[in-house]
A and B are shown apart, each in its own frame.
Chain A
Amino acid sequence: MAEILVLVDHANGEVKKVTFELLTLARSLGEASAVWIGPGYEAAADKIAEYGPAKVYVAADAELNDYVAAPKVEVLQQLAAGAGAILVPATAEGKEIAGRLAVRLDSGVLTDVVGVTGDLVAEHSIFGGGVIAHAKVTKGTPIIAVRPNAIALAAQAGSPAVEQVSVALSDAAKAAKITDRVVQEKGERPDLTEASIVVSGGRGVGGAENFKIIEGLADSLGAAVGASRAATDAGWYPHQFQVGQTGKTVSPQLYIAAGISGAIQHRAGMQTSKTIIAINKDPEAPIFELVDYGVVGDLFQVVPQLTEEIGKRK
């Protein structure tokens, strides 16, 4: 079986769920190998082993985290010979790594993939979820960036062989140096793109203070908070939480839109969610065309009542 390399996505000692999705997918395509880049593997080893890679490559040099994208590209390039495919998360960084690696390896790259079959045909959900397309890499080693939340997790315990990888960074790889990492919103909430439930607020929320109502509902469900562009443009919620065409694409099990009309640009970021609920005063709001369940009403009445009701039923 061909080796399928999986780039482990981790930050601050935490392995992102998409890594386990990629390992699950890799096992269905060949022999899964995880690629860990940066310090801290030991603490994550047990968790990674639960998803059955046959091997883990560890490039542990702390310096690998100090530069944008290029060092990770160098590690993956070193390991790519003989691989049947390389899977990375379709996050902003993951896609950039995939792009650079594709140039290095002179190989095709597929981004924002939501499924891959055994013959490496990838499924894309394009134009904001309106069209499903299947595509295949025709040159080189397929490099595939897979959207978080697209692959159903399946654990398979194993005890992978660990192989240390050493990398001598070129000057070119050190060209863009990260001098500081600033965390603007540190919360206990799950990552927006990985969350199984997302609660988003829009123009109808009316102000930054009122986002507490949205956060309250999110916390009652263990959900991530999102925002429409109207809300982030107005400065009510930080830009990195924007869901939509110029923001994040989310595909959670449950998406609750409060005070969001559902402009096509917002729909492009959320309409592949499995179950959609909307609360909006305007019965004509286009968001209601997408919903599984909708309430025409004032979010300031409905959302707190919903939060309280969920609390009661726990």
Chain B
Amino acid sequence: MNIVVCVKQVPDTESPRKLKSDDNTLDRAAADGVINELCEYAIEEALLIKEAHGGEVTVLTMGPDKATESIRKALAMGADKAVHLVDDALVGSDALQTSYALQQLVGRAGADLVIMGSESTDARTGVLAAMLSERLGWPQLTLANKVEIAGTAVTIQRQTDTGFDKVEASLPAVISVVEKINEPRYPSFKGIMAAKKKPVESLSVADAGIDAGQVGVANAYSAVVDHADAPARAKGQVVGDEGDGGVKIADFLASKKFV
């Protein structure tokens, strides 16, 4: 089975994240890049499926040169090979454009199964797996906290606000995962060394058969018109508990008419 994992490099939440002042796109230089956390869960799930059912795990990344760091991590965890779509024409692409680009990459890779995190920590749109499923015409098995495969039948538990739904479909399919699904492995030293020899194919937009007129900030379906730092919160009052901490909070709640 050919399993494709879509991986995104994102600005580290612990470092300053901002938009650029000129075109309101993400300032990737301002922050350290890390692999999006939920992508690690997607890689882990792909490796578990491969270990149970055989096949090959291919990592797809769209992003700048330094996204190779995230590719190396995925390969060190155990993915077999990677495809890196890197082209200045892609800068500022929105989710619709990204899903279009990924569709071309998935088509090239000949996947039976696409796995990705349910959202990224930077944009947090949570739409990409659904969009890709729509574009590919494959079933949407999103927000999975458990995946079971038997032959070409796939069953997942889809996380809901009240518990989970059981959802079934046939391969090929698009799966997105939530963090509850597994515990991503740490790359071993052996894995890190092996990753250096694994193939990474670097593609331009033209190489991937992507129409440059469909991607990039100038062709986006939406535009950020302005941005500003959120106003700082007024400094609140912090008191020590002298046996009456609960009463003091109740007084505060009463002053704000919550009780």
Interfacial residues, chain A to chain B (CB-CB below 8 A): 11, 68-70, 73, 91-92, 95-100, 102-104, 107-112, 121, 125-140, 172, 175-186, 191-193, 197, 221, 239-240, 245-246, 249, 253-254, 264-265, 268, 271, 275-277, 279, 283, 288, 290-298, 301-310, 313-314
User: A290 near B233 (CB under 8 angstroms)?
Assistant: yes
Within the complex, which residue of B139, B226, B230, B254 is in contact with A129, where a contact is CB–CB below 8 Å?
Answer: B230
User: B241 near A136 (CB under 8 angstroms)?
Assistant: no
Among B17-25, B46-54, B59-67, B187-195, the one that faces the other chain is: B17-25
Task: Please name the residue on chain A nearest to B226 by beta carbon.
Answer: A134
User: B159 near A245 (CB under 8 angstroms)?
Assistant: no
- Please count how many residues in chain B sit with their CB below 8 Å of the partner chain's CB atoms: 87
On whether A176 and B141 interact (CB within 8 A), knowing A246-B179, A264-B14, A309-B250, the answer reads yes
**Complex Cα spacing A110 to B122, Å:** 15
Task: Please name the residue on chain B nearest to A296 by beta carbon.
Answer: B240
Task: Please name the residue on chain A nearest to B239 by beta carbon.
Answer: A295
Task: Please name the residue on chain A nearest to B252 by beta carbon.
Answer: A293
SS class of chain A's interface: helix, strand, loop or mixed?
A: mixed
User: A96 near B249 (CB under 8 angstroms)?
Assistant: no
On whether A138 and B221 interact (CB within 8 A), knowing A131-B227, A176-B141, A177-B168, the answer reads yes
On whether A100 and B130 interact (CB within 8 A), knowing A135-B222, A245-B121, A313-B254, the answer reads yes
User: A240 near B239 (CB under 8 angstroms)?
Assistant: no
- Cβ proximity bits B124-167 to A, threshold 8 Å, 1 near / 0 not: 11111111011101111111010000000001011111111111
A302 neighbours in B (Cβ, 8 Å): 241, 245-246, 249
User: B249 near A181 (CB under 8 angstroms)?
Assistant: no
User: B37 near A121 (CB under 8 angstroms)?
Assistant: no
Task: Please name the residue on chain B nearest to A121 by beta carbon.
Answer: B225
Task: Please name the residue on chain A nearest to B145 by beta carbon.
Answer: A239
User: Considering the complex of A and B, which 6 residue pairs feature the smallest CB-CB distances, nearest first?
Assistant: A297-B241, A305-B246, A99-B127, A108-B221, A306-B246, A175-B139
Among B76-84, B91-99, B108-116, B204-212, the one that faces the other chain is: B91-99
Task: Please name the residue on chain A nearest to B129 by beta carbon.
Answer: A96
Interfacial residues, chain B to chain A (CB-CB below 8 A): 13-14, 17-19, 24, 37-38, 94-96, 99, 118, 121-131, 133-135, 137-143, 145, 155, 157-170, 173, 178-180, 220-230, 233-234, 236-241, 243-250, 252-254, 256, 258-259
B256 neighbours in A (Cβ, 8 Å): 254, 275
User: B165 near A99 (CB under 8 angstroms)?
Assistant: no
User: B126 near A137 (CB under 8 angstroms)?
Assistant: no
Task: Please name the residue on chain B nearest to A175 by beta carbon.
Answer: B139
User: B221 near A310 (CB under 8 angstroms)?
Assistant: no
B167 neighbours in A (Cβ, 8 Å): 68, 176-179
A268 neighbours in B (Cβ, 8 Å): 13
User: B248 near A295 (CB under 8 angstroms)?
Assistant: yes
User: A181 near B165 (CB under 8 angstroms)?
Assistant: yes
Task: Write the nearest CB–CB distance from B234 to chain A, whole angstroms.
Answer: 8
Task: Please name the residue on chain B nearest to A298 by beta carbon.
Answer: B241
A183 neighbours in B (Cβ, 8 Å): 162-163
On whether A96 and B166 interact (CB within 8 A), knowing A112-B125, A279-B249, A301-B246, the answer reads no
